[in-house]
Structure 1
Amino acid sequence: MNQGKTVFSQLMDFLPWYPFDCAVRRYRGDYRIKSFSCHDQLLCMLFGQLSFRDSLRDIVICLQAQQPKLYHMGIRGPVTRSTFADANETRDWRMYAEFAMALIAEARPLYQDHEFHIHLDQIVYALDSTTIDLALSLFPWATFRTTKAAIKLHTLLDVRGSLPVFLNITEGTVHDVTLLDTLPLEPGAIYVMDRGYIDFDRLYRIHGHKATFVIRAKSNLQFRRQYSHAIDKTTGLRCDQTVRLTGFYVAKDYPEPLRRVKYYDQATKRWFVFLSNNFDLDALTIAQLYKQRWQIELFFKWIKQHLKIKGFYGTSQNAVNTQIWIAMCAYVLVAIIKKRLQLDISLYNMLQILSVNLFEKIPLYQLFSPSGYENNEGDTHNQLFLFNL
């Protein structure tokens, strides 16, 4: 009989617990808590994410059914639905946000050499947001429309590795462009955005921090061409210009010259016009950088399909933020394990395998090996077949 650790315990061994303990002390998460600590809450929520549980009741029933194993999984306190719900409602979500950022800081060096379609030394970020619809009767604080509630998940994604490096959860009415006011800027980095982020005063702030932006221009842009540069039209490029803005207010907001690149995408039969403050990269690279923005759309689609961030375990703002940040912890944790164990399977496959093996006592390297998740049983000739084709 295997006396080793459960799969869930092995997963938790990859978590850096010191940053989490520091965050708990900073926000006094365990103040006057006699049982079911923040450590227990985190483990239970991670179990819910990794096993695709739909509600707190589902999580509690599953964990109580495996009561003898909970202590060895790291869950010390009794797991009850009322205590669990109170913890999500009252304990500061910022603890889990800080812990998620600590996990991301650990994961990013692992993906520095991740395959990237454009050969660049600079870090490339994609910035966008996604809306998560909610029921107005259950989430009245999440203002969006008169008949519907929603929140927005504003995300800055490191395209190399698809890791979120900055996250902000707001009400659905908050405009995307306001995120540029709080966005941490890195000198030398490239920020790729859609035209919803056009605000030349805020873009000039990016320019002032010695960073590069690539953004899709609006059709009503007022500008004056200063120079036209040579291009190869067989690549889809139509023009590469140095321009200055001519609108009364925008010219004050952004007094420096800009680069305007026009591109025709043969695959989609669409025209694109890009603005950038980078005059060193070639025009085709500017167009290719904008194509990399699609990575953040895939990221949003993936987390909505495979993480519990659309159906929530609680209805308060604190409970919603807690669940989303812990979902990010689960995503980054699986990404770290994939690199640490040098696995050649997708994150989706990893989650599916983990979801049905969390209580098993199988070494992780064996669980994810081809023989661990493929059926290698030979033909049993004595077995009768239900259908003979």
Structure 2
Amino acid sequence: MLIHEARQLYTGEGLGLDLDQTVYALDATTIDLCLALFPWAHFRRRKGAIKLHTLLDLQGSIPTFIRITAGKVNELSILDELIPEPASIYVMDRGYTDFRRLYRLHTAKAFFVIRGKKGLDFRRRYYRPVDRSTGLICDQTITLQGPKTSTLYPEPIRRIRVQDPETKKRITLLTNHFDLPAGTVGDLYRSRWKVELFFKWIKQHLRIKAFYGTSENAVKTQIWIAISVYVLVAIVRKRLGIDRDLYTLLQILSVTLLEKTEILPALSLAGGTPVEDRSANQLQLFDF
């Protein structure tokens, strides 16, 4: 219910790209656990962990699909649980490269943008001119030539090579969207950093690394509480019209939690510098 309400509030919030389609980022993060205390969270022989699989709506960074599994569960299996939305765009890292599952997205009239793996066997069919000054290297239409991949994905795929302007690192992107400008495809992949930021925010600010219980139900309950807090802050931000990111708002709330301060004045503090997370009773170690 919270996710549905938050998504409605953020419907009109764009990505800074000329797109009318819904864009999702799919990724997973691993949370390490002690196997002796959490014997149900199988990961490796002597290590326990759980995985938080998340489909993030990049309009407002709202999670729309979340699955909590044991650490040994492969990320690819989550693609089988998703119900593709026609005309939507799914942005994924190369760990989700499975051409049978990608072709399923394609036949469902959904689009994908995924980072390609090295050593892909393909044949170039068409080549589009690109402006190399923008970081684009090539924009091609290809067909897969591998004995297995050509059967799993029998239709043409678009292959785009881009170079990061800061790191100068070159990456290959594969997509079934042939109408978008090549630069927009690169921007879409770069926008998936929001799901990484979501994981970082969840882990650092909502303290889910220290669990209050050791059962599977206790761990899942605590994670869902953390996600509920995240979505609640997103709803408060939109309803009160606060021009600050979610991460700054939660930091403000964390240091004013036990103060008798109305929420709107607390979140509308002057200045844009994030509030430091420190205890008011903490003495200074050095007196300068």
Same-fold call, TM cutoff 0.5 = yes
TM-score (ref. length: structure 1)? 0.67
Runs (4 or more) in structure 1 with deviation over 4 Å come to: 356-362
Q: Which amino acid aligns with 1:207?
A: H
Q: Partner residue of 1:161?
A: 60
Displacement after TM superposition at 1:281 (Å): 0.5
1:239 aligned partner, one-letter code: C
Q: What do residues 292-311 of structure 1 show as CA deviations (whole Å, max 9, x unaligned)?
A: 11111111111111013211
Quick one: structure 1 residues 136 and 258, their matched pair in 2 at CA, closer, same or farther if it must change by over 3 Å?
same
Residue 44 (structure 2) pairs with residue 139 (structure 1): no
Q: Distance in 2 between matches of 1:227 and 1:243?
A: 7
How large is the RMSD of aligned CA atoms in angstroms?
A: 1.9
Residue deviations 1:52-106 (CA, integer Å, cap 9, x gap): xxxxxxxxxxxxxxxxxxxxxxxxxxxxxxxxxxxxxxxxxxxxxxxxxx10100
Partner Cα separation in structure 2 for residue 356 and residue 275 of structure 1: 44
Matched residue count: 273
User: What is the aligned partner in structure 2 of residue 48 from structure 1?
Assistant: none
- In the other structure, the counterpart of 2:228 is 329
What whole-Å deviation, never above 9, does each CA across 1:128-164 have from its counterpart, x for those lacking one?
1000000111001101111210000011111121111
Amino acid at match of 2:36: S
Give the drift of 1:238. 1.4
* Residue aligning to 1:318: 217
What percent of counterpart residues are identical?
58
Is residue 297 of structure 1 aligned with residue 196 of structure 2?
yes
Q: Which amino acid aligns with 1:118?
A: L
Amino acid at match of 2:91: V
Which consecutive residues of structure 2, in runs of 5 or more, have no partner in the other structure? 274-287
Aligned to 1:275: 174
Question: Which of 347, 354, 357 is residue 253 of structure 2 equivalent to?
Answer: 354
Residue 72 of structure 2 aligns with which residue?
173
Instruction: Write the distance in 1 (CA, Å) between the matches of 2:254 and 2:102.
Output: 43
Choose between structure 1 and 2 for higher RCO, CA contacts under 8 A separated by at least 6 residues: 1
Query: d(CA) in 1 for partners of 2:27 and 2:94?
Result: 10
Aligned-residue offset at 1:361: 5.0
Candidates 154, 161, 165, aligned match of 1:262: 161
More helix, by proportion: 1
Q: Does 1:109 align with 2:8?
A: yes
Question: Which has more radius of gyration?
Answer: 1
Partners of 1:351 and 1:217 in 2: how far apart? 36
Structure 1, unpaired ranges of 5+: 1-101, 375-388
Partner amino acid, structure 2, of 1:117: G
User: 1:128 maps to which residue?
Assistant: 27
- 2 CA distance for matches of 1:217 and 1:352? 37
Normalised to the residue count of structure 2, the TM-score between the two structures is 0.90
Cα separation, partners in 2 of 1:351 and 1:232, compared to 1, 3 Å = closer
Q: Deviations over 1:305-338 (max 9, x none)?
A: 1013211111011111111111111110111011
1:118 corresponds in structure 2 to 17
Decide whether aligned partners of structure 1 residues 280 and 342 sit closer, same or farther in structure 2, where only a CA change above 3 A counts. Answer: same
The structural deviation recorded for 1:346 is 3.6
Task: Kindly provide the amino acid, as one letter, of the partner of residue 252 in structure 1.
Answer: T
User: Which structure carries more strand by proportion?
Assistant: 2
- Give the counterpart of 2:100 among 201, 206, 210: 201
Task: Name the residue aligned to 2:284.
Answer: none
